[in-house]
C-alpha cells in the first residue's frame, strides 16, 4: 500500500478489491452512500463484509437449525447462547475457531482463541467455569506439525490456566488434510443468574460509550480479512496480523467486569473480538437501533501515530466496549481502577442510525449502521463431488483375506488411538473445584454449586468425525451430534443444547458449499430427533491451502444436565471380575471407520446411517440404568470400534493385571463386531449380580443386549469365536504403545 | 477466630479456598484484598491462595510479595499467627522470605495437572497433627513452576528443624529431595504446592486432614 493514503483519502475500486471487497459490494456501498467511502470507512467495510464477520455465504442456511426450546433464554445472534438450568440459573456457552492464526503463530493463535471465547462468555455476565478444545493437526511428516502441536497446547494451557478456568475435556484428531490448516476450536461455558444477563446493546440516547481493558496496538489489523482467505505458502509470512494474548489482563478484566455488572453500572457490553472496535460498535448500535458518536482521539493506544483505520481494525486483545449512563461513569471507572485497569469515555449513544467517528476534530467516519451490519449475501454454487460413489467403495475382500491379527496390529499403530495424557495434563482441569471424574472420560462432568441445596451437575463434550464427514457430510453432521449425546449419556447426562463450530474449505468451491449445507442438514436432523436446540455457533471457511480444503469438520459442543444426586457410572474396568455386554447392534459398519482408514490408508466405504430412533432409545436406556442405582461402567463405542473401547476401559483400570475374555457369537462378522463404528453402541461392564436387571432394562428400553465376555486378572485380551481363539494380545504391552505414541511430538 | 483469604490480582483459587474452608472446614472466613492493610489481630489463620498473581510475569510470587498487605502478614506471622500458602501462595511466601527456598520451573518445562501422592514427614506441626507420620495423602497439583529448590546448607537446616512437612512419592517436577511442602522454624507458616482445597468434598478428600489438623490446633475441633 502506498504511503500517501490517509484515513480520509477517497477510495477506489482497485483499493476496495485489494481489501477483499467485490466490485458488487463496492458499488453497493457507493450507491448507498452516494459517494465513495474514504479509506477509514473502506477498512470498516472490508472487515465487516469479510466472510468471518458477515457470514455472507452461510447465514441463510442457519434457518434450518432448530433454535427453540423450553430452556432457551438466548438463541443464536448474541455473544453466546443461554439455556435455563433451573432455580433461577442459566448457562452461557459457545465454541469458536481460531484456526488461521494458530497456523501462523501456534502459541499466540491458540492462546488468543481461548481469550476470545472467555470474553464472549463473561460479556454476558456469566462466570466462565469450564472450557474444552477440539484440535485437528496434520501429517506427522510435515516438519512443523510437532511445533504446531506443542505451541497450540501450550498456548491453550498458559491462557486458561492463568485465568483460572478449567479445561475439562477435548478432542484431538490427526489427519494429513490439516497439515497446513490445523483447527483450534475453543469452547467455554459460564454460569449466570437468569435475570442478570447482559447483552450487546448500545441502548439509551445520551448514554456514555466506554472503552475498558488493554490499550490498542497495531496487532491484528485486517485479521478478520485474513481469516476469510485461503492460505498460500506466502501467507506463512503474514505473522504480524496475529494478536498477542495477556491472560493476566484478561483475568482482571473478567473480575472487574463481573463486579461492575453486579454493581449495576453497565447497560450494554461487547467484547472487541474480530474487527475490534468496528464490529463491537456497529453491532451494538445495530441491535439497539441507535447511533454512536465516537472520538477516536480518546482510544488508549500503546503505539503513537495510529491512523483511524488502525484504531478501528486493531484486534488487540483483552478489550471491551460498554455503554453506561453518564451518572454511573465514575462508579464504573472506580471498579476498573480497583483492578488496575483503565476505563475511558470515548463517545455517546445518539438517535438516528448513524455512527460518526472523529479524529483530530475531523469527521473520519460517517456511516449508516445498517449499511455496515447488513452486507450483501453471497450466492454460492453447491454440488456434490463427482466421485462420491467411488469414495463409498470399500474393498471388503482385501480385508477378509488378511489375518485378524494383522488388522488388529495395524489399528494399534494408528496415531488417533493414543493416550492424550501428555497433552491434557498441561491443562488445569480442576481449578474451580467443580470437576468430577477425569479428562479422559467420555464427557466431562462439573458440579454447579451456586444453587445451594439443589446441587446439579452439567456434562460437556466436543466431538466431530471428519472421516465420516468427508465420505458423507450429512451423516457426519448427524453423527457429530449423536456421538456427543452418547458420550453424555454414558456419563449419566441428558443433552440440553449444542453450539457448533463449522470448519470448512472455501465457500467459493461448490463441493465445499455442498458439504456445508449437508452438514447443517445432518446436525439439524439429530437435534430434531433429540429435541435440543442450537443456541450459538461459528463458521470458519477458507481452511484450505493451495486449493486443497480440509475435510468438512462440523465440530459440535454439547451441554447436558444431571438433575439428581445419584452416583455417576464408572468409565473404566473398576474390578477384574466384571461381566461385559454390548448394547446396540452386534455388528457395526466399517465404512468410514478408523480400521478401514488404517488398513487402506485412505478414507473409504459408506458410513452406516445413524438410527436416530434407536439413539433416542439408547439415551433412555442409559438414564433408566443409572436411576436403578446399579454399579457398572459404561463406555461409548466410536473410533476404532468395540475393541478400542474395551482396551481404553482396561487401560484406565486401577489394576495393571486387568484382562479381557471376549466371545464373539458365531455367524457374526468378526471385523464388523470388533472394528465397526455404527452409532449407537456402548460397552457395559458390571458385577455379575446386576445382569438380570440390566438385561430387563435393555429390553424395556428397546435396545439390544448381548453378553460378550468378562474381565479377569490375567493381563491378556483373548478373543474367541465358536470355541476357537481368534486373537490374543498382552494388554500391558498395548497400553505402553498407546501411552508412548504421542511422546515423539511432545517436548 | 477467623480465617482470612487474600485475593491478589491473578489469584484464581481464592473462591475455592473460601468455599472449602467455610462449607467443608466450618471456618468463619473473611476475604482480604491485597491493597488493604487490615488489622489481622482478630484472625487465627491467613491463607495465600493459588493462581497467577501479577500473571507470574516477573518471577512467580515476586510482585505479590511486595503487596501492601504482605507487611501485615509478616507482622501477623512474627506474632505466631498461622499462615498457609498454597501453590502460588507458597511461591509468594518464599519470595517474601517467610519460608526458605524458592520454586523454579518444573524439570519437564511443562505445566502439570494431576493427582499426586505425598508422604507426611512430620506430625509435629499445626498442619499435620491429625495425620500419622509416613502415611500418604492424595492431593492434586497444578503448576508450571513447582520445583522446590534450596542449597545444601538450607536443606540441612530444614532437616535439623523438621521443617519438611510433605514429600512427593513420585517426584512430578524435580523438587530437591522430593519436597512438596515446608514450614518455617516455628511451624506457624506453611507452604505447599499441592491443593488441599481441591481435595475436600469432590473426588478425593485428603485435604480435609490439613483442615482438621488446623482445627485441633486452634481448639475448634469438637
Domain extents in chain B: 2-218
Q: Does B202 sit within 8 Å of A429, measured CB to CB?
A: no
Q: Is A342 a catalytic residue?
A: no
Nearest to B99 by CA among B44, B55, B161, B21: B161
Q: What is the pTM of this model?
A: 0.95
Q: Does A427 sit within 8 Å of B111, measured CB to CB?
A: yes
pLDDT at B220: 73
Q: Best residue in A252, A433, A568 to probe B by mutation, most B CBs within 10 Å?
A: A433
pLDDT at A77: 86
Q: Which residue of B has its CA nearest to A427?
A: B113
Q: What is the nearest CA distance from A264 to chain B, expressed in angstroms? A: 22
Average pLDDT, chain A: 94
Grid-cell match 458488487, residue found: A24
Instruction: Specify which residues A659 forms β-bridges with.
Output: A712
> Which strands make up the sheet holding A268-271, listed edge to edge?
A268-271, A319-324, A208-213, A343-350, A291-295, A354-359, A362-368
Q: What's the rounded mean pLDDT across residues A566-595? A: 96
Q: Does A427 sit within 8 Å of B112, measured CB to CB?
A: no
Q: What's the rounded mean pLDDT across residues B172-180? A: 98
User: Three cell numbers at A178?
Assistant: 490439516
User: Three cell numbers at A371?
Assistant: 449499511
pLDDT in tens, A691-727: 999 999 999 999 999 999 999 999 999 999 988 999 9
Q: Which residue of B has its CA nearest to A449?
A: B19
**Does position A233 have pLDDT exceeding 70, yes or no?**
no
Q: Does B51 sit within 8 Å of A164, measured CB to CB?
A: yes
pLDDT in tens, B134-147: 999 999 999 999 99
| Distance in angstroms (rounded) separating the CA atoms of residues A279 and A247 | 22
Q: Which residue of A has its CA nearest to B19?
A: A433
Catalytic, out of A98, A100, A286, A570: A98
Q: Beta-carbon neighbour count of residue A6 at 10 Å?
A: 13
Q: Cβ contacts (< 8 Å) between A437 and chain B: which residues? A: 203
DSSP A88-139: TEEEEEEEEE-HHHHHHSHHHHHHHHHHHHHHHHHTTTPEEEEEEEEEEE--
**Does position B222 have pLDDT exceeding 60, yes or no?**
no
Confidence tier at A45 by pLDDT (50, 70, 90): very high
Nearest to B142 among A339, A431, A436 (CB): A431
Q: A593 near A678, Cβ under 8 Å?
A: no
Q: B17 near B49, Cβ under 8 Å?
A: yes
SS3 call for A474: helix
pLDDT in tens, A355-387: 999 999 999 999 999 999 999 999 999 999 999
Q: What's the rounded mean pLDDT across residues A566-584? A: 96
pLDDT at A329: 97
Share of chain A above pLDDT 70, in %: 97
pLDDT in tens, A144-184: 999 999 999 999 999 999 999 999 999 999 999 999 999 99
Paired sense of beta strands A167-174 and A127-137, if any: parallel
Confidence tier at A58 by pLDDT (50, 70, 90): very high
| Distance in angstroms (rounded) separating the CA atoms of residues A548 and B160 | 67
**Does position A1 have pLDDT exceeding 70, yes or no?**
no
Q: Beta-carbon neighbour count of residue A547 at 10 Å?
A: 10
pLDDT at B39: 96
**Does position A235 have pLDDT exceeding 70, yes or no?**
no
Q: Is A52 a catalytic residue?
A: yes
| Distance in angstroms (rounded) separating the CA atoms of residues A712 and A727 | 16
Q: What is the nearest CA distance from A444 to chain B, expressed in angstroms? A: 13
Nearest to B113 by CA among A454, A734, A430, A447: A430
Q: What's the rounded mean pLDDT across residues A440-460? A: 91
* A438 vs B63 pLDDT, higher one: B63
CB pairs under 8 A between A and B: 82
The helix (run of H) or strand (run of E) holding residue A163 is helix A145-163
pLDDT at A236: 40
| Distance in angstroms (rounded) separating the CA atoms of residues A380 and A541 | 13
| Distance in angstroms (rounded) separating the CA atoms of residues A476 and A642 | 20
Q: How far apart are the first and last CA of chain A?
A: 41
**Does position B96 have pLDDT exceeding 60, yes or no?**
yes
Fold of B2-218: Rossmann fold (3.40.50)
User: Three cell numbers at A705?
Assistant: 443386549
**Does position A541 have pLDDT exceeding 90, yes or no?**
yes
User: Three cell numbers at A662?
Assistant: 471376549
Q: Beta-carbon neighbour count of residue A67 at 10 Å?
A: 18
| Distance in angstroms (rounded) separating the CA atoms of residues A688 and A602 | 41
Q: Prior bond to A680 cis, omega within 30?
A: yes
Q: Beta-carbon neighbour count of residue A236 at 10 Å?
A: 13
Cα-Cα-Cα-Cα torsion A248, A253, A258, A261, nearest 10 degrees, comes to 170
Amino acid at each position: 500500500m502506498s504511503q500517501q493514503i490517509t484515513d480520509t483519502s477517497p477510495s477506489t475500486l482497485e483499493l476496495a478489491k485489494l481489501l477483499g471487497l467485490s466490485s458488487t459490494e463496492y458499488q453497493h456501498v457507493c450507491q448507498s452512500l452516494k459517494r465513495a467511502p474514504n479509506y477509514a470507512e473502506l477498512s470498516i467495510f472490508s472487515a465487516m463484509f469479510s466472510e468471518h464477520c458477515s457470514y455472507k455465504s452461510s447465514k441463510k442456511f442457519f434457518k434450518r437449525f432448530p433454535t427453540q426450546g423450553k430452556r432457551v433464554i438466548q438463541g443464536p445472534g448474541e455473544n453466546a447462547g443461554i439455556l435455563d438450568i433451573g432455580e433461577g440459573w442459566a448457562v452461557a456457552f459457545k465454541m469458536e475457531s481460531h484456526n488461521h492464526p494458530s497456523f501462523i503463530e501456534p502459541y499466540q493463535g491458540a492462546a488468543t482463541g481461548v481469550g476470545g471465547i472467555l470474553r464472549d462468555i463473561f460479556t454476558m455476565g456469566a462466570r466462565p467455569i469450564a472450557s474444552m478444545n477440539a484440535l485437528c493437526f496434520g501429517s506427522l511428516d510435515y516438519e512443523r506439525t510437532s511445533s504446531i502441536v506443542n505451541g497450540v497446547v501450550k498456548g491453550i494451557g498458559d491462557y486458561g490456566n492463568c485465568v483460572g478456568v478449567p479445561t475439562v475435556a477435548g478432542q484431538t484428531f490427526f489427519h494429513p488434510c490439516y497439515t497446513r490448516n490445523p483447527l483450534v476450536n475453543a469452547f467455554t461455558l459460564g454460569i449466570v443468574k437468569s435475570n442478570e444477563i447482559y447483552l450487546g446493546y448500545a441502548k439509551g440516547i445520551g448514554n456514555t460509550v466506554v472503552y475498558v481493558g488493554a490499550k490498542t496496538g497495531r496487532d491484528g489489523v485486517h485479521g478478520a480479512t485474513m481469516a476469510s482467505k485461503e492460505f498460500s505458502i506466502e501467507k506463512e509470512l503474514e505473522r504480524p496480523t496475529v494478536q498477542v494474548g495477556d491472560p493476566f489482563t484478561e483475568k482482571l478484566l473478567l473480575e472487574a467486569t463481573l463486579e461492575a455488572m453486579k454493581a449495576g453500572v453497565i447497560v450494554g457490553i461487547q467484547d472487541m473480538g474480530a474487527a475490534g472496535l468496528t464490529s463491537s460498535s456497529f453491532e451494538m448500535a445495530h441491535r439497539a437501533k441507535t447511533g454512536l458518536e465516537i472520538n477516536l482521539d480518546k482510544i488508549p493506544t500503546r503505539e503513537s501515530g495510529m491512523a483511524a483505520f488502525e484504531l478501528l481494525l486493531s484486534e488487540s486483545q483483552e478489550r471491551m466496549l460498554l455503554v453506561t449512563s453518564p451518572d454511573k461513569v465514575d462508579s464504573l471507572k472506580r471498579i476498573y481502577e480497583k483492578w488496575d485497569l483503565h476505563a475511558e469515555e470515548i463517545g455517546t449513544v445518539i438517535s438516528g442510525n448513524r455512527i460518526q467517528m472523529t479524529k483530530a476534530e475531523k469527521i473520519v467516519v460517517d456511516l449508516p449502521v445498517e449499511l455496515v451490519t447488513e452486507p450483501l449475501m453471497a450466492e454460492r454454487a453447491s454440488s456434490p463431488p463427482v466421485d462420491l460413489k467411488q469414495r463409498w467403495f470399500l474393498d471388503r475382500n482385501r480385508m477378509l483375506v488378511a489375518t485378524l491379527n494383522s488388522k488388529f496390529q495395524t489399528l494399534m499403530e494408528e496415531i488417533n488411538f493414543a493416550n492424550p495424557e501428555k497433552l491434557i495434563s498441561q491443562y488445569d482441569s480442576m481449578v474451580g473445584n467443580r470437576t468430577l471424574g477425569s479428562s479422559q472420560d467420555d464427557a466431562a462432568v462439573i458440579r454447579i454449586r451456586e444453587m445451594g441445596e439443589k446441587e446439579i451437575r452439567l456434562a460437556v463434550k466436543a466431538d466431530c468425525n471428519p472421516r465420516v464427514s468427508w465420505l458423507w457430510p450429512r451423516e457426519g453432521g448427524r453423527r457429530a451430534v449423536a456421538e456427543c449425546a452418547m458420550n453424555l449419556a454414558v456419563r449419566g447426562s441428558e443433552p440440553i443444547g449444542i453450539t457448533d463450530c463449522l470448519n470448512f474449505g472455501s465457500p467459493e468451491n461448490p463441493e465445499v458449499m455442498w458439504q456445508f449445507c449437508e452438514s447443517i442438514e445432518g446436525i439439524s436432523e439429530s437435534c430434531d430427533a433429540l429435541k435440543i436446540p442450537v443456541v450459538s455457533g461459528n463458521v470458519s471457511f477458507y481452511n484450505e491451502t493451495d486449493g486443497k480444503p480440509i475435510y468438512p469438520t462440523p465440530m459440535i459442543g454439547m451441554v447436558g444436565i444431571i438433575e439428581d444426586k445419584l452416583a455417576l457410572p464408572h468409565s473404566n474396568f473398576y474390578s477384574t471380575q466384571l461381566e461385559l455386554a454390548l448394547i446396540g447392534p452386534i455388528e457395526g459398519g466399517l465404512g468410514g471407520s478408523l480400521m478401514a482408514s488404517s488398513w487402506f490408508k485412505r478414507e473409504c466405504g459408506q458410513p452406516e446411517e445413524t438410527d436416530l430412533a434407536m439413539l433416542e432409545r439408547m439415551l433412555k436406556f442409559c438414564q433408566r440404568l443409572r436411576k436403578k442405582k446399579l454399579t457398572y461402567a459404561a463406555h461409548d463405542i466410536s473410533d476404532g470400534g468395540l475393541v478400542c473401547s474395551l482396551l481404553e476401559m482396561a487401560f484406565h483400570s486401577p489394576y495393571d493385571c486387568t484382562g479381557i475374555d471376549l466371545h464373539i457369537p458365531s455367524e457374526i462378522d468378526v471385523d464388523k463386531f470388533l472394528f465397526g463404528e455404527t452409532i449407537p453402541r456402548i460397552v457395559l461392564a458390571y458385577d455379575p449380580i446386576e445382569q438380570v436387571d440390566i438385561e430387563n432394562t435393555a429390553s424395556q428400553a428397546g435396545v439390544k443386549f448381548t453378553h460378550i465376555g468378562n474381565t479377569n486378572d490375567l493381563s491378556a485380551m483373548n478373543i474367541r469365536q465358536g470355541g476357537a481363539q481368534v486373537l490374543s494380545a498382552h494388554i500391558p504391552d498395548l497400553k505402553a504403545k498407546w501411552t508412548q505414541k504421542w511422546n515423539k511430538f511432545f517436548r | 477466630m477467623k480465617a482470612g483469604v487474600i485475593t491478589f490480582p491473578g489469584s484464581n483459587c481464592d473462591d475455592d479456598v473460601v468455599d472449602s474452608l467455610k462449607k467443608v472446614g466450618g471456618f468463619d472466613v473473611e476475604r482480604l484484598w491485597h491493597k488493604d492493610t487490615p488489622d489481622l489481630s482478630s484472625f487465627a489463620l491467613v491463607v495465600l491462595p493459588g493462581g497467577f498473581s501479577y500473571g507470574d510475569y516477573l518471577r512467580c510470587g515476586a510482585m505479590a510479595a511486595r503487596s501492601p498487605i504482605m507487611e501485615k502478614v509478616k507482622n501477623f506471622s512474627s506474632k505466631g499467627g498461622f499462615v498457609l500458602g498454597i501453590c502460588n501462595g507458597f511461591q509468594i511466601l518464599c519470595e517474601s522470605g517467610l519460608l526458605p527456598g524458592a520454586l523454579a520451573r518444573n524439570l519437564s518445562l511443562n505445566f502439570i495437572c494431576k493427582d499426586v501422592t505425598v508422604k507426611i514427614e512430620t506430625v509435629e506441626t499445626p498442619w499435620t497433627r491429625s495425620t500419622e507420620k509416613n502415611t500418604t495423602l492424595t492431593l492434586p497439583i497444578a503448576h508450571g513452576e513447582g520445583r522446590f529448590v534450596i542449597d545444601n546448607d538450607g536443606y540441612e537446616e530444614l532437616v535439623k528443624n523438621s521443617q519438611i512437612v510433605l514429600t512427593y512419592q513420585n517426584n512430578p517436577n524435580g523438587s530437591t529431595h522430593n519436597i512438596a511442602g515446608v514450614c518455617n522454624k516455628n511451624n506457624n507458616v506453611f507452604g505447599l504446592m499441592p491443593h488441599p482445597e481441591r481435595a475436600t468434598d469432590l473426588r478425593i478428600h485428603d485435604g480435609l486432614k490439613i483442615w482438621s489438623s488446623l482445627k485441633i490446633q486452634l481448639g475448634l475441633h469438637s
